Structure 1
Amino acid sequence: MQFRTQIPIPKSNSLLDYNSKVISLGSCFAVNMAEKLDYYQFQNSCNPFGIIFNPVSIEKLVRFVVSEKQFTEEEVFFHNERWHCFDVHSDLSSNSKEELLMTLNSILKITKQQLLEASHIIITYGTAWIYRATESDEIVANCHKVPQKQFAKELLSIATITESISNTIQLIQSINPEAKFIFTVSPVRHIKDGFVDNQLSKAHLISALHASFDFRLSAVTYFPSYEIMMDELRDYRFYTEDMLHPSALAVDYIWERFKETNIAETAYETMDAVATIQKSLQHRAFNPASESHQKFESNLQAKISKMVSQYSFMKF
């Protein structure tokens, strides 16, 4: 007897394996999936400019990277005793203007090299709601706790999002024509926008993505993170205490669906071996000096050495 419906997800035409180089961009759910890739020691980079929620801000940063733009003093500002940039997350904010600019321009350079080498780009959109700075009329990625009266809130139209998605892909393909794309919509609920407006936002993102591609024919894949959360995991026990973010169990489940549809089966054996090492590294001995623990440590180091000899990029 079935007590839930399972979303059928077609297997991707461009599966990830341990030769893949992945860049993940977007919302905090992009971080959840990237943490899984990191755990299994895939070659993965996530959100070099921090968490970014809306499509237009992601496109803008990709444009900066591809065009080799440099951030200048005009694009940073001082607020609450810190220097910030409206185009990036507050995690990158600094006490020093010079340090912030140096960091941002270094990230631009590093990210371009990563885009040039990437086999897969995973982009997770969080919201279609944006904030536009009234003084500059520019869409910001992060308000940095600047008073809300300095921004106008807007909902991106489906047409605008569709154009932004197309621009993002074209920009990346202009320097890396072989890159494959995996798009998804974050299952995190943005209730600060209101219950109805959160659903409207997700609907705009999903509609724009499906208006952009025939996923059966293109080098672009859609992975239904949001739909899995809404239809397969439609119970509050799959949320954290804030009732907004997927719980660890939900993230694990969505990851398993991602694995079975977007990761090559040839990688599974290595993933299992990596997981065994990761679990062993978390082991805490009652008696570190005991002979049995010394033997355990010796076996563990042998496993790590063997794995690193096969995959030099792995770091435990």
Structure 2
Amino acid sequence: MKFRTEIKLTSQQEKLINHNSKVLLLGSCFSENIGNKLAYYKLNTLVNPFGVLFSSTAIAKVLEDTVSQKQYKANELISQGGLLHSLHHHSDLSAIDSINVLDNINQAQKACLAQLKMATHVIITLGTSWVYGHVLTNQLVANCHKIPQSEFEKRKLSILEIEAALERSIKNIRKVNPSTQIIFTVSPVRHTKDGLIENSLSKANLLSAIDIIKEKYGVSYFGSYEIMMDDLRDYRFYESDMIHPNEVAINYIWEQFSKVWIDEKAQFYFKRIASIQQSKLHKAFQPNSMEYQEFLKKLAVKQSQLEKELNVKF
């Protein structure tokens, strides 16, 4: 008897991620879940330099700005809650004065462009089809920054609109890096504030649009959404909010991602890397004891050896 409906994922035969790879991740908070795992195992990774972005249009906008090296100006910022914000970026880039905000955006674009030019893989996680249009400036935004809702119009992007946004993203990526492997995924986080039916329709539009562009542009799709909804369809795999995947679920999805996208040789090193990472977190009761000093010496030797083998830094 089987008590789960396991998703059958097709293993990739080429362009796998290893310790020589460079990975750029953009999109929803699920990008950070996968990105943090990649970084933990010492893979060259840049995660959400512009902060969390949920919609296809927001991701297309930051990629377009990055590739064109757009220079934002102070009059493009908006004031709210004692801070200045960009409507096209997460509040991580906000600050109390325009100089710092513009510098944060500029630095994020530089970091993104540098990683994009060298990236072997670009992973984009879409969160929702629901978007907000800023009425005054007549533009779709990435973040409302707690500005009164009366200043925005909410609507759901059509499949055609999402397809167009994804095409913009792909074309801008390939302008600077024609050979990079682009992987799309849909966040398993349900946007319950939109309503459960509305969330389902939203995810359906994302999945349909990705399916259309997948063959057209030779990009890939990883089914994190399907793994969560169909394989791990039990509330024991959720945080207490019953919305976000918990650590067990994230680890399971990471395992499935590793099987499909991580090179076997790279996976071979994961246990040794994890051993060093866990040892570095160890706190001694007696830091000056001979036993602990010996522990540190052995750890330093293991770390140095692994750094030479993989050309990485802990």
Verify same fold: TM over 0.5: yes
Task: Kindly report which structure 2 residues correspond to 1:1-316, keeping only aligned pairs within 5 A, or say none.
Answer: 1-12=1-12, 13-214=14-215, 219-314=218-313, 316=314
Distance 1:289 1:2 in 2: 54
Say which SS state the counterpart of residue 124 (structure 1) adopts: strand
Q: CA deviation at 1:114?
A: 1.2
Runs of 4+ that moved beyond 6 A = none
Q: CA deviation at 1:284?
A: 2.2
TM-score normalised by the chain length of structure 1: 0.96
Q: CA deviation at 1:307?
A: 1.8
Say which SS state the counterpart of residue 18 (structure 1) adopts: coil
Counting aligned pairs with the same residue, the percent is: 43
Say which SS state the counterpart of residue 220 (structure 2) adopts: strand
Distance 2:312 2:288 in 1: 31
Distance 1:92 1:73 in 2: 14
CA deviation profile, 1:150-202 (whole Å, cap 9, x unmatched): 00001000011111111111111011111101110000010010010011100
Alignment gaps of 5+ in structure 1: none
Distance 2:288 2:148 in 1: 57
Paired letter, 2:64: R
TM-score normalised by the chain length of structure 2: 0.97
CA deviation profile, 1:4-63 (whole Å, cap 9, x unmatched): 111000012421001100000000011111110111010000001000000011001100
Paired letter, 2:6: Q
Paired letter, 1:60: K
| More moved, 16-25 vs 6-15 | 6-15
Q: CA deviation at 1:310?
A: 2.9
Distance 2:163 2:58 in 1: 14
| More moved, 206-215 vs 70-79 | 206-215
Query: Aligned pair count?
Result: 313
C-alpha contact 2:213 2:219 (8 A) present in aligned 1: no
Distance 2:207 2:103 in 1: 36
Alignment gaps of 5+ in structure 2: none
